[in-house]
């Protein structure tokens, strides 16, 4: 059993984590093996995402009044992933789950100051990184120019052949 002072310290730590981050993801990690959780923590840390396991009652106390709306249902064993990047926590948890075929459930989170459900957080998780979006944008702009150059080259080759 935890002492009241220890619980208050944990709540303050959770409150600070939520306050200092742009987005928070609630993760159900029930059934996750210790080795897999170690890999998850390492991968998240490499991407600048923090991960903290918490008791649900303490987490609920820490989240009271921190965002608009209602707190999503927190079932199972709950941890939070948080970062100053708005999309990174959701994207990195989702990517880890997909790459390692491990059962992690995104229960919801806090995005833009509002509580959102797991479905919305999964949609946010599928947004590509900034670098990927830049590459897609450059490719989109470059594509018509490439096609135009190919057409001009074909015209030049056909005129040489005559």
User: How far is Cα 123 from Cα 74, in angstroms, rounded to an integer?
Assistant: 19
Specify the higher pLDDT residue, 79 or 160. Answer: 79
Q: What percent of the chain has pLDDT over 70?
A: 98
Q: 161: pLDDT confidence band, cut at 50, 70 and 90?
A: low
Q: Residue 36: pLDDT above 80? A: yes
> Does residue 69 register a pLDDT over 80?
yes
Q: What is the mean pLDDT of residues 142-149?
A: 82
Confidence of residue 1 (pLDDT cuts 50, 70, 90): low
d(CA 128, CA 91): 8
d(CA 72, CA 134): 33
* Sequence-distant (≥ 6) Cβ neighbours of residue 85 within 8 angstroms: 22, 23, 48, 49
pLDDT at 2 over 80: no
Closest CA relative to residue 52, chosen from 13, 98, 2, 106: 13
Beta bridge partners of 110: 24, 115
Express each pLDDT in 95-105 by its tens digit. 998 888 877 88
Residue-wise DSSP of 85-118: SSSHHHHHHHHHHHHHT---EEEEEEETTEEEEH
Q: What pTM, to 2 d.p., does this model score?
A: 0.76
Strands across the sheet containing 105-111 = 50-54, 78-83, 23-28, 105-111, 114-117
Regarding predicted confidence, which is higher, 156 or 78?
78
Cβ–Cβ < 8 Å for 39, 79: no
Residue 92 has pLDDT above 70, yes or no: yes
pLDDT at 150: 84
Q: How far apart are CA 34 and CA 52, in angstroms?
A: 14
| Listed residue (4, 84, 93) closest to 40, CA to CA | 93
Answer whether residue 160 shows pLDDT above 80: no
């Amino acid at each position: 059993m935890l002492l009241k002072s220890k619980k208050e310290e944990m709540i303050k730590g959770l409150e600070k984590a939520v306050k200092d981050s742009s987005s928070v993801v609630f993760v159900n990690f029930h059934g996750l093996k210790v080795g897999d959780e170690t890999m998850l923590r390492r991968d998240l840390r490499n991407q600048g995402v923090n991960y903290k396991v918490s008791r649900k009652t303490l987490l609920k106390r820490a989240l009271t009044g921190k965002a608009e709306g209602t707190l999503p249902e927190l079932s199972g064993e709950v941890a939070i992933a948080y970062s100053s990047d708005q999309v990174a926590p959701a994207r990195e948890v989702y990517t880890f789950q997909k790459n390692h075929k491990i059962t992690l459930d995104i229960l919801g989170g806090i995005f833009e100051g509002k509580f959102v459900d797991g479905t919305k957080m999964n949609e946010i998780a599928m947004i590509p990184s900034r670098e990927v979006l830049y590459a897609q944008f450059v490719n989109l702009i470059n594509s018509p120019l490439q096609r135009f150059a190919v057409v001009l080259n074909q015209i030049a080759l056909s005129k040489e052949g005559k």
